[in-house]
Structure 1
Amino acid sequence: MATTLTDLHPPITMATTLTDLHPDIIHTHILPRLDGPSLSATATASSSLKSLCSDDTLWFPISQSTFPSTTHPHVNSVISTFPSGHRSFFLDSFPTITTDLTHRNPRRSWSHTKYDHPSCNLHPSSHSSPSQLISTVDICYQNDVIFSKPMFTDITSHFLSSGFLTELSEDNPTRTRLDPTRIQNDPTRIRPGAGTGSDPFRIARPIDLTVDEIAGADAATLRHLKESVKLNWIIIDPTRKRACNLSSIKAVSARQDWVTNESIIRYATVLPGCDPDEIVRCRIQVVLGVGEKGVGLYVKEVVMKVQDMDGVCVNGVEFLKIVEGVMMEVNGVRRKVGDDEERLRCCRVFKELKREKKEWEKMKEEKKEMVIWLNYVAIFVSFCFCVYFLLLLLKNCKT
């Protein structure tokens, strides 16, 4: 019988799974090569891998490379107090926020003001309300960071009672800032004080694109910017040791402002309001200015505001309540990775409900006007009858 090569050299059995490797090899040579989502998925494979993947030294570089603004010492120290350090922060911040609108009826909140609901009037207690909120803003163009800035907002009585609006502006005095008339209801502005030169933790780089110096970006460039410019706006609560990403990450629209020659990119996330049936929209607007001779686009301003269906900015108390619900994933809030269709569907529903509410308010006003008109008619008719009977009475008295 002929002897085969297999008979002379039996097949060698090799390790085919991660669990067959020594933990030090996995921890030193394999896990550091994974990105955040892959590392999180690997942790669910087994209890031993979960223990290895929980090491904060793995998540520290992932968090700082994904969100460069977290390199600020104060931000980093706050994140280190989270239950699982940078792992907890990444799992809180990397997914986008979606709101389940299936069992929600916003129309029920139209008949009363939002202040009728007790949770909207409840002043945050001293033990649960943070003394400061941290915002980390990171904007990337095709995976290259073009803007990064942490911001610290003290929770004061003025913050709690004023309309909430956060604005990061280009500090170069030679460049024109956003026209203040664009901001409705005169909400409070919160501006960082340091520029790139005085703040080593701020990144500001131009986008390597050339546009018309007068006309600005054309339709093709706007579509490209909408797909290529990603934004993360993370709110960190040092008291609760939680975080949430209020940005849709991917833009929902991009347009050109022909008056100021600026490209405006918008991001939107629909969130539950104070009233269980109310929904609000967190809209972030990135304004891109044009460089000299149309060479390069730079981040001129980033504005975030949370508005109800009437376009009114929520105040500080309402914002804290909304953010608390988002962080704790209550009232239909879920964290999902890459669910663009659900995010866009929520935005469409919000726009449709906003249109319906305007029509409802218009009909309500028309009914009020009709009632007032009928009251005037009734008063006039009553007056005529009174005059008629008075004349009859005078006539009878004379006779």
Structure 2
Amino acid sequence: MANESTPTGGGATTIEDLHDDVLTRALRHLDGPALAAASCATSRLRSVSTQPHIWRDICLATWPSLRHPRLLRILPSFPHSYRSFFFDAHPFPSLHATAAGRGRLTELISAVDLYHDGAPIFSRVVETETTSSWFQGAPFRIDALDRKDLSTAALVISPADLTLSWVIIDPAGLRAVNLSSRRPVAVDRQWYTWDTLVRFATVLEVGGSVYSATVVVTCHEATGHVRELGLTVEDIDGICLNGRNSLGILGAALEGERKRETEGETEMRYEGFAKGKRQREEWTAMRERMLDLCCTTVGVSAFLSFLALVAFP
């Protein structure tokens, strides 16, 4: 006589036989990528794994800054609530973004989370109004931390062990993109203060030109305290864009595709950008030297011609 707990047909119990509450409890232990993979296994797993509260818990655990009251109101309005936000903000933006535009970016919300050795040490939400003439014309920069902020003063850190998430959110269009490389792409010294500059960057190609959204974390040389934390957008010549042009780049990143690449691939992207920038700088310097040489040659020739006219009237 068959055991009453055995499913009809004598087959072994499968995951499809579990109650929804049991499946939900199991899925809550997964991180975002694992949950996304599990949702592709069966239609039932997909149905259970799309529950908004599961993705809400994952997002809040991944990005502590999302506990900000305004974001708790905005994120449920995304097309598929927190699940849509995760699939926007967790992967890296594609290198080849859509054409610049997105004129409706009237406000940017930055959700910034800084970690040291995997532990969160700083979270902040920065709301930036983008329609003023001052913002449009001034060099683009969003500061999440300045020298007057002492919230991280007691922390002594190793700059190379920092990781960062900087999620830009469009509250009107309900899209988000993470502009940080997660791990540093470069660690340098500031020559006049000897502070340590930790760079996180995402490289984007928009309209045939290459740009870098760069976050620089400034750490005090003596103490290791975090002193500044700011986002800029620069072109291949190393020139920081103004607010108007930066909005075009950020809008392209928000609308573009997402790519599941490794942090190493993102670092290689930036190394290629930095190499191109150095080559442009070297070419510019050589061109300036050639121009100086030509000017000097013309000047000397003119002077010698003048002397010849004086000496041999």
How far apart, in 2, do the equivalents of 1:369 and 1:265 lie? 36
Which residue number in structure 2 is paired with residue 62 of structure 1? 58
Which residue number in structure 2 is paired with residue 248 of structure 1? 181
- DSSP-derived class of the 1:80 partner: helix
Label 1:165 to 1:20 Cα distance change in 2 as closer, same or farther (>3 A): same
Aligned residue among 142, 146, 154 for 1:166: 142
Which runs of structure 2 are paired with 1:181-196 in the superposition (5 Å)? Answer: none
Gaps of at least 5 residues in structure 1 are 1-9, 102-118, 176-195, 197-203, 210-221, 392-399
State the 1:313 CA deviation. 0.9
Label 1:283 to 1:39 Cα distance change in 2 as closer, same or farther (>3 A): same
Contact in 1 for aligned 2:111/2:166 (Cα 8 Å): yes
State the 1:84 CA deviation. 0.7
State the 1:351 CA deviation. 1.8
How far apart, in 1, do the equivalents of 2:283 and 2:220 lie? 39
**RMSD (CA atoms):** 3.5
Gaps of at least 5 residues in structure 2 are 1-5
Label 1:301 to 1:153 Cα distance change in 2 as closer, same or farther (>3 A): same
State the 1:368 CA deviation. 5.4
Give the paired residue count.
Answer: 298
Which residue number in structure 1 is paired with residue 13 of structure 2? 15
**Counterpart AA for 1:163:** P
**Counterpart AA for 1:21:** L
Which residue number in structure 2 is paired with residue 116 of structure 1? none
- DSSP-derived class of the 2:77 partner: coil
How far apart, in 2, do the equivalents of 1:96 and 1:309 lie? 20
Matched, 1:145 2:117: no
Which residue number in structure 2 is paired with residue 26 of structure 1? 23
How far apart, in 1, do the equivalents of 2:301 and 2:217 lie? 56
Contact in 1 for aligned 2:65/2:112 (Cα 8 Å): yes
How far apart, in 2, do the equivalents of 1:171 and 1:368 lie? 42
Which runs of structure 2 are paired with 1:1-399 in the superposition (5 Å)? Answer: 14-16=12-14, 18-27=15-24, 29-99=25-95, 125=103, 129-155=104-130, 156-170=132-146, 172=148, 204=152, 206-207=154-155, 222=158, 225-226=159-160, 228-255=161-188, 260=193, 262-273=195-206, 276-289=207-220, 297-329=224-256, 334-337=258-261, 339-365=262-288
- DSSP-derived class of the 1:269 partner: strand
How far apart, in 1, do the equivalents of 2:65 and 2:188 lie? 27
State the 1:160 CA deviation. 1.4
**Counterpart AA for 2:16:** T
Q: TM-score, normalised by structure 1?
A: 0.65
How far apart, in 1, do the equivalents of 2:275 and 2:34 lie? 37
Of the two, which has the highest radius of gyration? 1
Contact in 1 for aligned 2:214/2:231 (Cα 8 Å): yes
State the 1:269 CA deviation. 1.7
State the 1:21 CA deviation. 1.9
State the 1:328 CA deviation. 2.0
Label 1:253 to 1:59 Cα distance change in 2 as closer, same or farther (>3 A): same
Contact in 1 for aligned 2:169/2:176 (Cα 8 Å): yes
How far apart, in 2, do the equivalents of 1:205 and 1:361 lie? 41
Label 1:144 to 1:68 Cα distance change in 2 as closer, same or farther (>3 A): same
Identical counterparts, % of pairs: 29
